[in-house]
Amino acid sequence: MTKRVLVTDCTGRPVNTTSWQRAVTLLVMKEAQLIEKDGDAFIKSPNLVVPKPLIIQTQGYVELKQLPDDRIIRRVLYARDSWQCQYCFKDINMSTGTIDHVKPKAAFIREGRRAAEAHRWDNVVTSCTKCNTKKGDKLPFQCGMHLTKAPKKPGYVQTLWAGKSFHPIQAEYIAMYHSKEIDISQLVIIGGK
């Protein structure tokens, strides 16, 4: 059974997740409606039997906003880069991956700029420890390393969903609704059918 419930706004657009307890409260208080239940699971109390929610729709509208340029979220970066080192394409996970600054912080400092300016979405990539160590404070071409695609800032949708765990039905719903912004392979599928 899935622990998180996918929440959509009044347009049906996925905007968040919540606990199943909060989702049941919203359903009982008629502040949301059930879109999809979690298999044959039910939430039971002495005076209430409710299908365990998998996806609910709320009455409000949510405006999706961009992240600030300098807020790098590791799980989103790894998902953006398909959970692979961008130099050798070795698969990584949260414990084996590192963040590499394509143009090193040292280069920014040499130019009289702040090192923090290097920590932007368009200058960071997922790297394995071996490649990150090999590259050090050099540019990729100086080490015989090359990127196959330029790094770029992910959209809000990627930031919200990438790298999180979802029931297969939730993942399909997110990918269907946001097919232009996110690929289902960027979502972690757990349990379910």
Domains of the chain with CATH codes: 4-64+155-189 (no CATH), 74-143 (1.10.30.50)
What pLDDT, on the 0 to 100 scale, is given for residue 5? 94
CA 91/CA 139 separation, integer angstroms: 22
Would the pLDDT of 69 be above 80?
no
CA 174/CA 6 separation, integer angstroms: 9
25 pLDDT tier (thresholds 50, 70, 90): very high
Mean pLDDT for 44-67 is 87
Would the pLDDT of 70 be above 70?
no
> What is the chain's mean pLDDT, rounded?
88
Strands (E), the chain: 4-8, 14-19, 32-45, 48-58, 97-101, 124-128, 165-166, 188-189
* Residue 121 structure tokens: 């979405």
What pLDDT, on the 0 to 100 scale, is given for residue 90? 96
For residue 173, with 0-12 CB atoms within 10 Å meaning exposed, 13-18 middle and 19 or more buried, which class applies? buried
What pLDDT, on the 0 to 100 scale, is given for residue 190? 74
What pLDDT, on the 0 to 100 scale, is given for residue 67? 61
173 pLDDT tier (thresholds 50, 70, 90): confident
Would the pLDDT of 186 be above 90?
no
What pLDDT, on the 0 to 100 scale, is given for residue 115? 92
Would the pLDDT of 36 be above 90?
yes
